[in-house]
Amino acid sequence: VWLEPSRFARLEEIENLLASDDQELIGDFSKAHLLPTVEGKDPGLKYISPATLAAVLAGHFSGFIESSIVVDCRYPYEYEGGHVKGAVNLPLQRDVEQFLLEQPVVPLDASKRVIIIFHCEFSVERGPKMCKFLRERDRCCHEYPQLHYPELYVLEGGYREFFFQFPSHCEPRDYRPMEHSAFREELRKFRGQSR
């Protein structure tokens, strides 16, 4: 395939960056990840600790971040039972598409970042899966490697771990597990919708 020289140079630059084994670049390869990462279940995703999320919420990175969106992928009954202050509840793929892709969040200050942090109860399945889904849908909307949201993270340990370490950052200050006996019917309904 013939490419324009400028586009070819950009792709060559990206390939060189990737070949240098620097896997710390954000999704559009324009810069390094801002937040310190920790090891997580999926090596293809970037995980942050509960302490890093608390630091973001407290404004410690506000000089670099214009907007941070915490996406709670748990089911509504879990979210209502306690969630990270300011988090948006997007349990289904269509919710993520509507909220994040129909009218993308664009930084007004080009030097600042928009970061998205996904989580579910333990950040083992629903949160990581939704993070991958957003990246995949975002890639489809652009010419590679451009993205609306190049900087995505998953909260290691999920809401459960965050709540136990930082309950003051949660509202209501509580934790309702997915397997709560009073919400079996809701669980069955949402599991069916998620498939």
Q: SS3 of 63, please? A: coil
Beta strands at 170-171 and 83-84: parallel, antiparallel or unpaired: antiparallel
The pair of structure tokens assigned to 113 is 């970042």
Q: Are 169 and 72 in contact (CB under 8 A)?
A: no
Q: Are 118 and 71 in contact (CB under 8 A)?
A: yes
**Nearest alpha-carbon partner for 41 in 157, 150, 134, 179:** 157
Phi, psi of 89 (to 5 degrees): -95, 110
Domain ranges of the chain: 25-193
Residue 13 has pLDDT above 90, yes or no: no
Overall fold of domain 25-193: Oxidized Rhodanese; domain 1 (3.40.250)
Residue 4 has pLDDT above 50, yes or no: no
The pair of structure tokens assigned to 166 is 């930082």
* Structure confidence at residue 93 (pLDDT): 97
From its phi and psi, is residue 109 left (phi > 0), alpha (psi between -120 and 50) or beta? beta
Q: SS3 of 47, please? A: strand
Quick: pLDDT tens for 72-81. Answer: 999 999 999 9
Which residues belong to the active site? Answer: 120
